[in-house]
Amino acid sequence: MSGSFNIQLRAHYEAALHIGVTQQEIIEVILQMVIYAGMAAASNALRLLKEVLEQPR
């Protein structure tokens, strides 16, 4: 995933968490995208989600 994609995805994760989307719901969406985007993209998305979740809020 390119750098700009990571920035956009991070912003979407943070916004989703801010409005009450759960960590589990985000993970489910990522897992459903595997068939469309591929396992490598899903793996990168999960890694980025982990980074976002580890940040203090």
The predicted structure's pLDDT at residue 2: 59
The predicted structure's pLDDT at residue 36: 95
The total number of structural domains that make up the chain: 1
pLDDT digits (tens, 9 = 90+) for 8-55: 999 999 999 999 999 999 999 999 999 999 999 999 999 999 999 999
Q: What does the alpha-carbon distance between residue 35 and residue 53 come to, in Å, rounded to a whole number?
A: 24
Cβ atoms of 48 and 6 closer than 8 Å: yes
Query: What's the pTM?
Result: 0.86
Tell me which residue range forms the domain holding 31: 3-54
